[in-house]
Amino acid sequence: MTEKLPGAVGDAQRRALRRSIARRKTWDWLFALGGVLALVLALLVFATLFGQMLKNGLPHLSWEFVSSFPSRRASSAGILSAWVGTTLVMLVTAVVAVPLGVGAGIYLEEYAPKNLLTDIIEINVTNLAGVPSIIYGLLALGLFVYQFGLGQSIATAGLTLALLILPVVIVATREAIRTIPQNIREGAYACGATQWQMVSQHIIPYSLPGIMTGVIIGLARAIGETAPIITIGALTFIAFLPPSPLGNSGHLISFEWLAAPFTVMPIQMFNWISRPEEAFQANAAAAGLVLVVMTLSMNAVAIGIRYHFRKRIKW
Amino acid sequence: MDSMPLKHSSQRLIEPIADHRAGVWSIKLRRRLAERGIEGLLLLAALVSVFTTIAIVAILLWESIVFFRTVPLLDFLTDRQWTPLFDDAHFGIIALLSGTLTTTVVALLVAIPLGTVLAIYLSEFAPFRVRELAKPFLEMLGGIPTIIYGYFALLFVTPLLQRIYPDLPGFNMLSAGLVMGIMIVPYVSSLSEDAMRAVPMNMREASYALGATRLQTALFVVTPAALSGLASSYILGISRAVGETMVVAIAAGMQPSFTFNPLEPAATITAYIVQVALGDLPHGSIGYQTIFAAGLTLLLITLLFNILGHFLRKRFREVY
């Protein structure tokens, strides 16, 4: 093609054309390089962040650190009350957010008629997802702490975070349900199922992987939330555990722990970051390391579930 | 309810069938009631989100109204100092807004270019394997708790910046904004990429057929077609940056001051709420009410951006 271009295209023109193409190709290449660099930059930031915390935190990570209470002396301070608090708060959050979120998602996809109320609910869910988390903290401070008199307790924190992740669970549920083909529903109805039988025996089981992914991602977000918990006025120095949920005071299961004061991992970390002594900041790094490992492994599980089931389910 | 006469008449005619029918009917009735009950419960679950919104607005308005009874709205909007806990109390929200605005702008200067380039690269240039690896990685980056980014900003980025510019104070908006920008990149890039991937393939093919390069296609065909998605991803980024709390509370300091210089420390609206919540303010005091007034301001700003995003999505939606 390069030897004999037809007619009027002269040598000079041909060279100019080739140069122009080469220039465009260079721009192409430069942009791709920019993209790779942006990706590398993100990777580098992550590696530095993680490496920094490993370097400062890992030497402090030990069984003593996990099994001791916070202390005035940095060397003997630990995260026992923090991780127990986080676990209990997450329990409340999951117990509240999962039924409410999944229920709302099922209602919006399977039951909701096309009317004003449905529109209001839908717009509302979208808007709630954009509300900053600290606003939820103010809501909890005004409503749960003072109006309902729940105080700065595990119940308050759990409810607050449940409301915070509700949009995540609702959206995940709806997206999972939307992928189920219509003929599954028609098949169930043809066999004489009622709507709830159809939903409980078909829709919920088939959308379960998607719902689980959403719930785990929501909980992973809730674990790291600091601002709303600080806003409700959670204490930062807690050197005791809430009452045990099992076999306390003669009952098999007790709910005293719901009303107990608490601390959680991010609050403990914040407390240590704001101390001027370097030793406490090393503690903060160690607590941060535990927190990052917690959230990243939850995210990894969620991503794993999604990939696993996306490959397996073929309608 | 209208079943009563029916049951009555059939009972007279043929007793056994009537019994049977009544049995079937009661099963049906019970089922229908159960179905209705379940639907009601599900509706209730869906309404919780509406109640949440109502509660948020009600609580913020309620406490703010009490606040504005003591502090005139004009002072709130025009005073340049925010010192509610001092003897000489000033309530100028501008002092907090300037901090929020400055950190947000710094964050966006990082997040929008980086996020957009990443989105275009991942959607139009990257090989399949790179994309498959990069997406979950970016998602994980977005899932790291904000307090970790705060730690990173205060104890790594600030010392790093101080090596370049030794006069930089330990708390400054630059470092907080930069880290916040990095934090927002995954949100911007993933939403933008989704929008670009939604552009139909035949538009790209038409562009290639006319002899356009990849970059030309990406910039002049795909990007304009995905503009509504890009715009709404930027808006989401802004809304995140305005509402972000821990990074700024840790790295930018908690001293309210009216400045737009990113090299100085300043408090944002969110940092102020944290600072007050950390102290032990009595319920019902003016200090307690200020955080609700600040929260209401924050909610109004994010609401404004959410509405703007919604409008942009509708305005620029391309129909294929």
The answer to whether position A249 is within a domain reads yes
Q: Chain B residues with CB inside 8 Å of A236's CB?
A: 278
The answer to whether position B248 is within a domain reads yes
Considering the domain architecture, whether residues B44 and B126 belong to the same structural domain is answered as: no
Considering the domain architecture, whether residues B130 and B208 belong to the same structural domain is answered as: yes
In whole angstroms, what is the distance from residue A139 CA to residue A258 CA?
Answer: 19
- pTM over cut 0.90: no
What residue numbers bound the domain in which B290 lies? 94-315
- How many helices and strands (H and E) does chain A possess? 12, 0
Q: What is the CATH number of the domain that holds A85?
A: 1.10.3720.10
The answer to whether position A42 is within a domain reads no
- For residue A102, the model assigns a pLDDT of 95
The string of pLDDT tens digits covering residues B160-200 is 999 998 888 889 999 999 999 999 999 999 989 988 988 99
More confident residue, B21 or B301: B301
- Across the interface, of A28, A227, A291, the residue whose CB is closest to B245 is A227
- Across the interface, of A35, A46, A106, the residue whose CB is closest to B125 is A35
What residue numbers bound the domain in which A295 lies? 59-312
List, as ranges, residues 71-90 from B with C-beta within 8 Å of A: none
- The tally of CA atoms less than 13 A away on the side-chain side of residue A103 is 19
The 3-state DSSP class for residue A44 equals: helix
The answer to whether position B66 is within a domain reads yes
Considering the domain architecture, whether residues B41 and B150 belong to the same structural domain is answered as: no
Low-confidence ranges of chain A (pLDDT < 70): 1-9, 235-236, 245-254, 311-315
> Which of B28, B55, B70 is the last residue in one of the domains?
B70
Considering the domain architecture, whether residues B217 and B288 belong to the same structural domain is answered as: yes
Chain A contact for B137 (CB, 8 A cutoff): yes
Considering the domain architecture, whether residues B153 and B114 belong to the same structural domain is answered as: yes
The string of pLDDT tens digits covering residues A200-229 is 999 999 999 899 999 999 999 999 999 999
Structure tokens at A96: 């509240």
The answer to whether position A228 is within a domain reads yes
Considering the domain architecture, whether residues B43 and B131 belong to the same structural domain is answered as: no
The answer to whether position B179 is within a domain reads yes
The answer to whether position A136 is within a domain reads yes
The answer to whether position B76 is within a domain reads no
The string of pLDDT tens digits covering residues B2-49 is 444 444 544 455 555 656 667 777 888 888 888 899 999 999 999 999
| Rg of the Cα atoms in chain B | 28
> For chain B, how many structural domains are there in total?
2
Structure tokens at A35: 């993209």
Q: Chain A residues with CB inside 8 Å of B118's CB?
A: 35, 38-39, 42
- For residue B54, the model assigns a pLDDT of 94
The secondary structure of B300-312 as a DSSP string is: HHHHHHHHHHHHH
> For chain A, how many structural domains are there in total?
1
- Across the interface, of A28, A130, A285, the residue whose CB is closest to B302 is A130
The answer to whether position A106 is within a domain reads yes
The answer to whether position B79 is within a domain reads no
Considering the domain architecture, whether residues B302 and B204 belong to the same structural domain is answered as: yes
Chain A contact for B27 (CB, 8 A cutoff): no
The answer to whether position A17 is within a domain reads no
Considering the domain architecture, whether residues B238 and B127 belong to the same structural domain is answered as: yes
Interface A-B, measured as beta-carbon pairs within 8 A, has a size of 250
Considering the domain architecture, whether residues B203 and B115 belong to the same structural domain is answered as: yes
